[in-house]
Structure 1
């Protein structure tokens, strides 16, 4: 993968949800090329593991974690693995669920009003 520019993300921890997908797998590889330690969270563990293995073979540091981003216990378990393996998250890319209506929010920005409107679903409703 050729990056148009490179950032120094050495020492940073990146968590990517939906990491087995087309876009987020490339995001994960790019973050690793820039020096970040990358946690690849996805419900499809085998594909996430293939991507993590490739990152590790290329000299990066990555771990695949089977995660259902619609399940709080699964997210908490993933966080525990990230904390144990790499430390606290510095960079978060929420790429999971773009094709799942239960994981789709109505607004692109957050507002207090969204929390109190029962007809709207926000990231915090998931």
Structure 2
């Protein structure tokens, strides 16, 4: 049974891998046997993640990449291909959560959400999918959010551009899945609920009132813990999910059930 989850011989690319869920996922890929390319804007932070992955004995490279820049993404993916020769798994994890409602937020903040959360996935796929088609194999996982399907009513946690951009990720996921399935490429999305990360530790996790409300609303009565997303990512990145296409898997402790 473990063989269908084995990633030995595979090459995984993780965007937004400098910290949080991306860094955790990159380490999980290495532990599952994959060679890993970790991408992010902050090269100094990538070096720390790279050092952790190297302890597993798997090959890893750290590549500077701004997913909002086509030239940067093109160069980064070419570096990965030059190093490993192929890309089997693409985890589109880079993302931002910009606060604000449509009646008050700036156009700049709106564009920031879409440039990173949607355009970033488009650009990464643009420079990875062609060689996946050529190799007749690929696993693409897009990190969306529970906030693609639910939202906050008010207060400081309104994120209309985040809601819209993460919903767009789902549309892009289903579109690509329908088009690329014929090439033995699976495209799926995951929807994490609240996990502690760089993006949430200085905001949501600093609000005791918010955390109490979240625990009350979530059937699991807590936020997600470090590593709890990895099992779903390994599943969607392995042959265990060979017939899973265009799906949105929520990893939310039941938050969207109530």
| Match of residue 61 from structure 2 | 63
* Separation in structure 2 between the aligned mates of residue 64 and residue 50 of structure 1, nearest angstrom: 10
* Separation in structure 2 between the aligned mates of residue 61 and residue 72 of structure 1, nearest angstrom: 26
Unaligned 5+ runs, structure 1: 113-126
- Mapped pair 1:22 → 2:20: yes
Quote the offset at 1:39 in angstroms: 0.3
- Mapped pair 1:37 → 2:50: no
Q: CA RMSD in A?
A: 1.9
Q: Deviations over 1:29-80 (max 9, x none)?
A: 0000011010000001111121112211331211110100000111111111
Quote the offset at 1:87 in angstroms: 1.7
* Separation in structure 2 between the aligned mates of residue 51 and residue 11 of structure 1, nearest angstrom: 21
| Match of residue 94 from structure 1 | 92
Single out whichever of 83-92 and 28-37 deviates more from structure 2: 83-92
Single out whichever of 22-31 and 95-104 deviates more from structure 2: 95-104
| Match of residue 171 from structure 2 | 109
Secondary structure (helix, strand or coil) at the match of 1:74 reads: helix
Q: Structure 2 matches for 1:40-55, cutoff 5 A? A: 40-55=38-53
* Separation in structure 2 between the aligned mates of residue 53 and residue 21 of structure 1, nearest angstrom: 13
* Separation in structure 2 between the aligned mates of residue 84 and residue 12 of structure 1, nearest angstrom: 15
| Match of residue 115 from structure 1 | none
* Separation in structure 2 between the aligned mates of residue 95 and residue 66 of structure 1, nearest angstrom: 15
* Separation in structure 2 between the aligned mates of residue 58 and residue 14 of structure 1, nearest angstrom: 15
Secondary structure (helix, strand or coil) at the match of 1:38 reads: strand
Secondary structure (helix, strand or coil) at the match of 2:57 reads: coil
* Separation in structure 2 between the aligned mates of residue 70 and residue 40 of structure 1, nearest angstrom: 16
| Match of residue 81 from structure 1 | 79
* Separation in structure 2 between the aligned mates of residue 70 and residue 103 of structure 1, nearest angstrom: 6
Compare relative contact order (CA 8 Å, sep 6+) and give the higher one, 1 or 2.
1
Unaligned 5+ runs, structure 2: 98-111, 118-164, 177-258
Number of aligned residues: 108
* Separation in structure 1 between the aligned mates of residue 96 and residue 31 of structure 2, nearest angstrom: 25
* Separation in structure 1 between the aligned mates of residue 88 and residue 96 of structure 2, nearest angstrom: 22
TM norm structure 2: 0.39
In 2, are the aligned partners of 1:49 and 1:63 still within 8 Å (CA)? Answer: no
